[in-house]
Structure 1
Amino acid sequence: MTTRIPAAVPAVVNIAAALARFSDHWAQRRIAGINDYDVKVAKIQGEFVWHTHDDTDEFMLVISGRLTVRFREGDVVLDPGEFVVVPRGVEHCTAAAEETSILLLEPAGVVNTGDAGGELTKAVRELEPS
């Protein structure tokens, strides 16, 4: 068995520190990549747009605050440390009464508003170096 040794020691990412470096809502920041996936953080408050992602599931983990994920069949409420996987093609809408920080895991290039588009559509930005 061969052990793969990294060319450089991988960077450690502190999620709380990453979230402290920006304040805008609904603007995802890429903090890492895993294969063809982006690991992103975002701060949200208020209600997002109803949308679907036809080609991918969506993983959302609450870091702080409280997240409501609305589905046509009913709502799911998540507290810190809880996550939900929204299956591909399932219409949903996220909402947070208070500022809520989340971590997302999605394939690179996924548009935040899915099929809905509109003014809340924002390109994923790299978290700028500290």
Structure 2
Amino acid sequence: MTAKAVNLADKLSTFAEYWSPKIVSQFNGHDVMVVKVQGEFVWHTHDDTDDFFLVLDGIVTIEMEQGNVTLKPGELYVVPKGVQHRPVAQEEAHILLIEPKGTPNTGDTDTAAEKVEI
């Protein structure tokens, strides 16, 4: 096995679609993903896991009934499991996500985007 660093900017340059997480690595049963976002995502809840967001580029607001959290590059927020939320980005933004392998991005496998490894 050859050790190789994952270059997130290179990975992000390989796709253009929004709201479609791409798996760039895995650890301890979790997917590490990058995603491009713009506009509003659907309101959703993850009943069994927290939702980790780290903004790499741009500005993302995590809307929740309890109040909104606005994230700039280098900032992260973890939405506690069971809390309804939706990420919103007025302009294109790039996010790093970490979640248990197989977790649907909408909280529902019927509406979730397919996750592919890049």
CA offsets, 1:61-82, max 9 Å, x none?
0000000000002110000000
| TM score, norm. by length of structure 2 | 0.95
* Alignment partner of 2:116 out of 105, 125, 130: 125
- TM-score when normalising by structure 1: 0.87
In structure 2, relative to structure 1, the CA distance for the partners of 1:82 and 1:14 (3 Å cut) is same
Quote the residue 1:97 is aligned against.
90
* CA distance, structure 2, for counterparts of residue 116 and residue 96 of structure 1: 23
Alignment RMSD: 1.2
Shift of 1:35: 1.4
Residue 10 of structure 1 and its aligned partner are, at CA, apart by 2.4
Q: Could you say if the C-alpha distance between residues 58 and 20 of structure 1 is closer, same or farther in structure 2, counting changes exceeding 3 Å?
A: same
Check the 8 A contact 1:50/1:116 in 2, yes or no. no
Which structure has the larger Rg over C-alpha atoms?
Answer: 1
Deviation of 1:115 (Å): 4.0
Moved more, 9-18 or 75-84: 9-18
Q: Which residue is 1:3 aligned to?
A: none
Greater shift after overlay, 38-47 or 9-18?
Answer: 9-18
Partner of 1:81: 74
The residue number in structure 2 matching 1:4 is none
SS of the residue aligned with 1:17? Answer: helix
Alignment partner of 1:18: what SS?
helix
Per the alignment, in what secondary structure is the counterpart of residue 16 of structure 1?
helix
One-letter code of the match for 1:126?
A: E
Q: What is the CA–CA distance in structure 2 between the aligned matches of 1:83 and 1:117, rounded to whole Å?
A: 28
Q: Name the SS of the counterpart of 1:68 in structure 2.
A: strand
Structure 2's unaligned 5+ residue stretches are none
Q: Which runs of 5+ in 1 are unaligned?
A: 1-7
Residues 5-84 of structure 1 aligned to structure 2 (within 5 Å): 8-84=1-77
Between the aligned residues of both structures, percent identity stands at 47
Structure 2 Cα separation of the partners of residues 58 and 41 of structure 1: 14
Structure 1 CA distance, aligned partners of 2:51 and 2:77?
Answer: 8
